[in-house]
């Protein structure tokens, strides 16, 4: 039904990616909760990504240049946004 | 050995295994008890162990530069943490301490791949961590979009999903939680959380009986809070 060895490696890869994303998510949650500059940027990014239709449904890529411009126009420091 | 068998075999992630497979898995386990308030690991410690909560509750948190404790997650029975152990030469990026008397099962980094050899177990672990990631995403979205009252309601709804028990009064959130605990979870002051709870009680969405929170049955509540 399946190749146990291949599945084993595949599961490890999935777990590695999940562990990295969990670490990133916890970091983002920490920055938001302590109300740091990074946390404020993250909240605005979440809002913009959710409310603006800048997502390419074919590639699932987001227009980063547009996002950066929006954040800088909001008043965030460009270096901090980068 | 008996203690080890009881530890691993009762964990949800090993439910799909046969008794013989569970026996193999128990040889990888080490059970540890922690008293309330004890620290399991601190930020900066070498990450070489994966933990599975057998009973009790574990708080994951960071200390800010101002010395404030920032809560990130409360883990309960069947939750996994220390998953960054799968990478070599990493250190913990947060702290973990127990909130109640807690029993955890541990597995070293070297033995962890052996747990993954059974695809059903691997999938259960992936599912558990995937749900955790969804949980964090929902929390961040709540903080980006909702005011304090909304975040309190979202947090109670999320806790009801994890710890909820259906009762005639409503859904009992079956963990001990005070206003400060809730304030730490929603990232607001205790005073604001107390005010928000007052409003929610007046609106008939939340109640407190014998120090436990209840989400009251309300069609409006189901629509407003992000739970089914």
From chain B, pick out residues whose CB is under 8 angstroms from the CB of A71.
none
pLDDT at B175: 81
pLDDT band at B219 (very low <50, low <70, confident <90, very high): low
pLDDT band at B62 (very low <50, low <70, confident <90, very high): very high
Comparison of pLDDT for B223 and B155, the residue scoring more: B155
Phi-psi region of B143 (alpha: psi -120 to 50; beta: other; left: phi over 0): alpha
Six-digit token string for A1: 């039904």
In a mutagenesis test of the A interface, which of B82, B87, B122 is the best target, namely the one with the most A β-carbons within 10 Å?
Answer: B122
In a mutagenesis test of the B interface, which of A10, A11, A12, A47 is the best target, namely the one with the most B β-carbons within 10 Å?
Answer: A11
- How many angstroms separate the CA atoms of B169 and B45, rounded? 45
Q: Quick one: DSSP state of residue B185?
A: H
From chain A, pick out residues whose CB is under 8 angstroms from the CB of B92.
none
> What's phi and psi for A29, nearest 5 deg?
-60, -40
From chain B, pick out residues whose CB is under 8 angstroms from the CB of A26.
60, 72-73, 93-94, 136
Six-digit token string for A35: 């109300």
Q: What is the mean pLDDT of residues B191-219?
A: 89
- How many angstroms separate the CA atoms of B61 and B70, rounded? 5
- How many angstroms separate the CA atoms of B168 and B207, rounded? 13
Six-digit token string for A20: 């990295």
Q: What is the mean pLDDT of chain A?
A: 76
State the pTM of this model.
0.77
pLDDT at B4: 46
Q: Judge whether residue B44 has pLDDT over 60.
A: yes
Residue of chain A with shortest Cα separation from B71: A30
Cβ of A28 within 8 Å of Cβ of B140? The answer is: yes
- How many angstroms separate the CA atoms of B35 and B3, rounded? 18
Give a three-class secondary structure readout of chain A.
CCCHHHHHHHHHHHHHHHHHHHHHHHHHHHHHHCCCHHHHHHHHHHHHHHHCCCEECCCCEECHHHHHHHHHHHCCCHHHHC
Segment holding B108, helix H or strand E: strand B102-108
Six-digit token string for B33: 């008890």
pLDDT band at A30 (very low <50, low <70, confident <90, very high): very high
pLDDT band at A56 (very low <50, low <70, confident <90, very high): low
pLDDT at B25: 73
> Among A46-50, B38-42, B56-60, B65-69, which is the least confidently predicted range?
A46-50
Six-digit token string for B133: 């990631």
| Shortest alpha-carbon distance between residue B168 and chain A (Å) | 35
B165-175: per-residue pLDDT in tens? Answer: 889 889 999 88
Q: Judge whether residue B3 has pLDDT over 50.
A: no
Question: Residue B87 half-sphere exposure, CB side, CA atoms within 13 Å?
Answer: 17
pLDDT band at B45 (very low <50, low <70, confident <90, very high): very high
- Residues 6 or more apart whose CB falls under 8 angstroms from that of B101 comprise B33, B34, B35, B36, B56
- How many angstroms separate the CA atoms of B182 and B42, rounded? 23
Q: What is the mean pLDDT of chain B?
A: 84
Q: Judge whether residue B88 has pLDDT over 60.
A: yes
CA angle B207–B209–B212, rounded 5-degree value: 85
The distance in angstroms from the start CA to the end CA of chain A is 47
Cβ of B129 within 8 Å of Cβ of A18? The answer is: yes
- Residues 6 or more apart whose CB falls under 8 angstroms from that of A71 comprise A41, A44, A45, A48, A81
pLDDT at B226: 47
DSSP per residue over B120-141, as a string? HHHHHHHHHHHHHHHHHHHHHH
Residue of chain A with shortest Cα separation from B143: A43
| Shortest alpha-carbon distance between residue A21 and chain B (Å) | 8
Comparison of pLDDT for B105 and A74, the residue scoring more: B105
């Amino acid at each position: 039904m399946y190749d146990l060895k291949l599945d084993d490696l595949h599961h490890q890869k999935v777990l590695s990616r999940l562990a990295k994303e969990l670490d990133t998510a916890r970091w983002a949650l920490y920055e938001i909760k302590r109300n740091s500059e990074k946390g404020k940027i993250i909240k605005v990014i979440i809002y913009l990504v959710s409310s603006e239709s800048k997502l390419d449904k074919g590639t699932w890529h987001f227009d980063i240049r547009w996002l950066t411009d929006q954040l800088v126009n909001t008043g965030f420091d460009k270096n901090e946004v980068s | 050995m008996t203690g080890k068998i009881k530890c691993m075999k009762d964990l949800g992630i090993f439910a799909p295994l046969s008794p013989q497979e569970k026996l193999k898995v128990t040889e990888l386990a080490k059970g540890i008890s922690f008293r309330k308030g004890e620290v399991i690991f601190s930020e900066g410690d070498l990450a070489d162990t994966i933990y599975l909560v057998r009973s009790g509750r574990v708080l994951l948190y960071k200390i800010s530069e101002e010395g404030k404790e920032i809560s990130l997650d409360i883990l309960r029975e069947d939750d996994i943490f220390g998953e960054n152990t799968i990478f070599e030469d990493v250190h913990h990026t947060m702290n973990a301490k127990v909130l109640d008397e807690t029993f955890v099962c541990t597995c070293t980094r070297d033995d962890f791949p052996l747990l993954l050899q059974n695809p059903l177990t691997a999938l259960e672990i992936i599912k558990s961590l995937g749900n955790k990631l969804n949980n964090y995403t929902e929390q961040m979205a709540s903080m980006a979009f909702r005011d304090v009252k909304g975040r309190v309601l979202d947090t109670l709804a999320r806790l009801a999903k994890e710890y909820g028990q259906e009762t005639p009064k409503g859904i009992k959130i079956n963990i001990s939680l005070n206003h400060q605990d809730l304030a730490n979870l929603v990232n607001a002051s205790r005073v604001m959380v107390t005010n928000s709870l007052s409003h929610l009680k007046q609106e008939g969405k939340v109640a407190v009986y014998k120090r436990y929170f209840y989400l009251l049955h309300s069609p409006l509540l189901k629509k407003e809070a992000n739970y089914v």
